[in-house]
Amino acid sequence: MKSFAKINVFLKVVGTRGNYHEILSRFVLCEQLFDEIYFERSNSFAIECDNKEIKENIIQKAIDELKKAGFSNELDEFFSSHKIIINKQIPIGAGLGGGSSNAATFLLMVNDELNLNIKRENLMQIASKIGADVAFFVSGYKAANVSGIGEIIEEFDDEVPNLNIFTPNVFCSTPMVYQEFRSNFLQYIDINAAKKMQNLKSKELLEIYKNEELNDLFAPCFKLYPQMNEFRDKFLSGSGSSVFSVN
């Protein structure tokens, strides 16, 4: 099953909640870039990924949350004779939500394959416990305004221009970029700007606003990773390193 990437057309930090950051953001599904996940018969359970750089797999967290939700027996029975194969195309540390998408795709696959009959809204609740972006990918929406710490998903009837997406050979740590924002940029929070942005279509946003205005993580990302400077004229997705421009 295809596991699609996403971009953030805008991302505004609007507050903090403990160690987390409350956001308002436009998520848009990128169907031209995807990983593939499938189940294969096996004598023992394993999660096999063709990208050896991935040490901890978020799919294991998805399994753990499904077990907490009461599906241990079904999972144990199925995975006693199956393993999970992940073929990665979405770069890691790139602001494209690859890991979150993988977890969401796994939830959808296992719900269908094992006939768990979990309703979409309940699956989204499980997803929000796994990671900040997972619920969006479970939702099935092409575009949405995402708020809270990623758990509030509102479908948006969007108009998205053709985009060129490029991922530099730079790994951007999401926790470090957010920490840099909290340390040095928190005083610049602009909730009113965020509220205006949520009502505009992506095409309008990309025409009206500058890249730094659309993404509050732009400045902290470029401060932490000076090698990103050659892409300063592009729009930044999430915490980076992926950038995009309008065709």
Same domain for 75 and 182, yes or no, is no
CA–CA gap between residue 217 and residue 127 (Å, rounded): 24
Segment 215-231, tens digit of pLDDT = 999 999 999 999 999 99
Same domain for 48 and 142, yes or no, is yes
Domain ranges, residue 37: 2-155
Segment 84-137, tens digit of pLDDT = 999 999 998 899 999 999 999 999 999 999 999 999 999 999 999 999 899 999
Return the structure tokens found at 171: 């790994």
237 assigned to a ligand binding site: no
Which of 12, 35, 88, 133 is catalytic? The answer is 133
85 assigned to a ligand binding site: no
Domain boundary among 121, 155, 189: 155
98 assigned to a ligand binding site: yes
Same domain for 126 and 202, yes or no, is no
To the query of whether residue 67 is one of the catalytic residues in this protein, the response is no
The total domain count for the chain is 2
How much is the pLDDT for 93?
A: 85
Three-class SS state of 18: coil
Domain boundary among 155, 183, 201: 155
The closest alpha carbon to 39, from 80, 87, 78, 84, belongs to 84
Same domain for 139 and 191, yes or no, is no
Claim: this prediction has a pTM higher than 0.75 = yes
To the query of whether residue 133 is one of the catalytic residues in this protein, the response is yes
3-state secondary structure 72-122: HHHHHHHHCCEEEEEECCCCCCCCCCHHHHHHHHHHHHHHHHCCCCCCHHH
